[in-house]
Amino acid sequence: MVFSVYRWGDSDTYAGWEGVENSALALAEIAPLLLTPRPCANGNPAPVTQPDWKNAVQGLVVAGEKAHKAALTRNMDAMLDVSETLSNACAACHEKYRDVDLEGGTRCKIGK
């Protein structure tokens, strides 16, 4: 997961709370890119106009904002409290559009 805070003292490997804060902001701020028309890896157009895609992107924005707020507290329990929100926000897209058969051409197909 993007929000790894393991081994706080090893600044060469993990960025600590600042890294968690920045990762959360990145998730919240990526929405315009996720709504930009483009091809998927298999050449199908990304489903950026689909209502469920738009809702998933909005969910990612909300989850990123909540995660950033939690990260600012520098409290692991606060991050754990938001972890399900983050997981669900990612899964809303990945389960339907990303974690499917790339070779068979179903990735990014609308209506699956």
Query: What residue segments make up the domains of the chain, in order of their start?
Result: 20-98
Q: What is the pLDDT of residues 47-81, one digit of tens each?
A: 999 999 999 999 999 999 999 999 999 999 999 99
Share of the chain above pLDDT 90, in %: 59
Structure tokens at 28: 């919240």
Please state the pTM of the whole predicted model: 0.78
Contacts of 92 (CB under 8 A, 6+ apart): 52, 55, 56, 59, 60
Q: Please give the Cα distance from 12 to 79 (Å, whole number).
A: 22
